[in-house]
């Protein structure tokens, strides 16, 4: 079988060397009589990142069926979560590629190893449920404290805007230069200073070019 070896270390210092992982992978392949056709190494990359240079390249090569089996030292060197692991295994399965973790004695080409899909699917579903519940709990907590969920309120320096209006600039012109809509700027001015709102309305009625 054509094998792809994947290794990852989270730092570039001498305390972590991908060779520790690759040594075991090579020994495993030699025992099985498999040929390592490509080695993918992510060095100095956190396992929390689903997108990694070598991993991304390996997944692309897997889709092109450049090897028959992916071999890693441990699950946590490869996937950041059960959901991530399951997604990768599904991609491998679609391309007819097996997955092996040498230290955990898991080989998805065997009947026992295929149970991994079922277990991971259940764990991934649990992770999703926990994530959703955490989001809902956070929203409930925010509502209890009087905070509204949604898009973050855009900050506008209203003091500077009022000064520019006092110097004769129009709301439309100011809104364009600070990258907001005229309606939004006018609304913020009305909310912050009723007197300014009154002046804006009066000025607009007298001369439409002044307001918007």
The domain ranges of the chain are 2-126, 158-211
pLDDT of res. 211? 45
The larger pLDDT score, comparing residue 102 to residue 153, is at 102
Residue 202 reports pLDDT greater than 80: no
Q: Is the pLDDT of residue 39 over 90?
A: yes
* Fold classification of 2-126 (topology level): Rossmann fold (3.40.50)
Q: Tell whether the model's pLDDT for residue 209 goes beyond 50.
A: no
* 10 is known as an active-site residue: yes
d(CA 113, CA 120): 11
State the pLDDT at residue 210: 44
pLDDT at 150: 57
pLDDT tens profile 127-186: 667 777 877 787 777 777 766 555 566 778 888 888 888 888 888 888 888 888 888 888
**Mean pLDDT of the residues in the chain:** 79
Percent of the chain with pLDDT over 90: 27
Q: Which residues are 8's β-sheet partners?
A: 42
Three-state DSSP class for residue 72 = strand
Question: How many residues make up the chain in this entry?
Answer: 212
Contacts for 37 with CB less than 8 Å, ≥ 6 apart: 2, 3, 4, 66, 67
**Rg for the chain, CA atoms, rounded:** 29
Tens of pLDDT, residues 122-137? 665 666 677 778 777 8
């Amino acid at each position: 079988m054509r094998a792809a070896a994947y290794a990852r270390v989270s730092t570039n210092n001498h305390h972590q060397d991908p060779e520790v992982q690759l040594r075991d992978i090579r020994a495993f392949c030699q025992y099985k009589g498999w040929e390592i056709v490509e080695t993918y190494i992510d060095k100095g990359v956190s396992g929390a990142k689903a997108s990694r240079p070598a991993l991304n390249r390996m997944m692309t090569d897997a889709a092109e069926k450049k090897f028959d089996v992916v071999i890693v030292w441990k699950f946590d060197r490869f996937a950041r979560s059960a959901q991530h692991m399951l997604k990768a295994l599904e991609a491998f399965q679609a391309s007819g590629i097996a997955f092996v973790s040498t230290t955990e004695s898991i080989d998805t080409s065997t009947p026992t190893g295929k149970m991994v899909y079922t277990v991971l699917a259940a764990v991934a579903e649990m992770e999703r449920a926990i994530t959703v519940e955490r989001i809902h709990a956070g929203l409930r907590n925010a509502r209890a404290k009087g905070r509204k969920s949604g898009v973050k309120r855009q900050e506008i320096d209203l003091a500077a805007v009022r000064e520019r209006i006092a110097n004769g600039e129009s709301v439309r012109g100011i809104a364009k230069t600070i990258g907001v809509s005229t309606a939004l700027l006018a609304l913020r001015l009305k909310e912050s200073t009723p007197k300014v709102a009154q002046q804006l309305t009066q000025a607009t009625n007298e001369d439409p070019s002044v307001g918007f």
